[in-house]
Amino acid sequence: MGTLTKVSKIIEIENGSILSPKGFHTGGTHAGLRYAKKDVGLIYSEVPAHSAAVYTLHDFQAAPIAVTKDSLTNSGMLQALVVNSACANACTGEQGLKDAYEMREFAAQKVQVEEHLVAVASTGVIGEYLKMDKIKAGIEQIQLGTASAHAEDFQTAILTTDTCMKKCGFKAEINGKMVHMGGAAKGSGMIHPNMATMLGFITTDAHISSENLQLALKEVTNYTFNQITVDGDTSTNDMVLVMANGLAENQSLSPEHPEWPVFVQLLNNTCESLAKQIAKDGEGATKLVEVNVTGAFDEYDARKIAKQIVGSNLVKTAIFGADANWGRIIGAIGQADTKAKTEQVTISIGTVKMLDKSEIIPFSEEKATEYLKEDFIQIFVDMHMGNGAGTAWGCDLSYDYVKINASYRT
């Protein structure tokens, strides 16, 4: 797959959110699945929206994924999405599937649409049944709206061990029409995608068919959600879902449309923003880490090397400890299973170059250590082989990661 075409027409929306596009309403409430925090959320579009999704490739896919796939298979259209936190409804057998369909039914009744127009998502503890009485009551009491408070209600209802909301909004002019896109996501642990990662929900008022939306989402996913890692574990419930209701009234978008690259970049910016927010909020993380690889044999190798580095526990712990141990970066490169040539690798941490075409060079340990104390760390690797370039994002690995995951269910 080729490199994404970069365009300059994308504008970030100040305080952008899932409600930035026209015609969407959201809400969230505390239904009692969690002790005190909001735990059930709902997105509603005023008109049916062409939709697309990508899902975890985990062998144990949760019941909500099966239900969402069923809804999208029907017509590629959605008008609502219901999501709960606290319980993943995963590895719950026939009862779990029944509960997920019932959850879809409750949401359809709430917004008065046909059941196949509703998607379902869940996140939380695996191997526990949903408390359906609380789910039903929670859906019924959600107050849908278009104010920033309604967006925040939804954005907080989907969180688990996250320490903050993940949200964004962007816009671009297409065919003389301003097209808006907004996103909300959750994700903090179990982040190491083999497709997308976490739960991500994106709304747009663009006019585009489900088929072409799916095409754009699959392409963008490879450069964004597939390029983040926190701890090397994938989840049973990962899903990224996009709803496009067409209310911007632009000409229908397709790969043949002259402004197709603008839409793809709009989607890419939205997904990249959410992906980086997830990486930054990794469980116990203190730093966002970005690895940029250039000069690889091809783009695939570059992205693979970047992700191998950012996912290395040895690299992550060194960054947490502000230890400029570039040998760990070399170690990660050698495990990436690419066409790397070990005799010509250049490595820099920030502006501090430490290895030049595999030759050791003097560098300031003090300057490197000071840089590694910052909360945004960039690593640069030049393979000196070809034109392949790729980026990946992750975080450091701290003592708090163990504390959080040692008591996740409590």
Q: Which residues are catalytic?
A: 197
Rounded CA-CA distance 283/132 in Å is: 29
* CA-based end-to-end distance of the chain: 44
User: Which residues lie closer than 8 Å to 196 by C-beta, 6 or more apart?
Assistant: 54, 55, 56, 221, 225, 226, 238, 239, 240
Q: Which of 269, 214, 245 is nearest to 25 (CA)?
A: 245
Cα–Cα distances (Å) from 285 to 158, 315, 322, 395, in that order, read 20, 13, 13, 6
Which residues lie closer than 8 Å to 386 by C-beta, 6 or more apart? 295, 296, 297, 298
Assess contact for 235 and 55: CB atoms under 8 A.
Answer: no
- Phi, psi (rounded to 5 degrees) for 31: -95, -10
Can you tell me the distance from the alpha carbon of 103 to that of 348, in angstroms, rounded to the nearest whole number?
A: 51
Q: Which helix (H) or strand (E) holds 78?
A: strand 77-84
User: Which of 318, 328, 329, 317 is CA-nearest to residue 397?
Assistant: 317
Look up tokens 């209701």; give the residue: 245
Q: Compute how many other C-beta atoms are within 10 angstroms of the C-beta atom of residue 58.
A: 18
User: Residue 193 CB: number of other CB atoms within 10 A?
Assistant: 27
Half-sphere CA count of 216, side-chain side, radius 13 A: 34
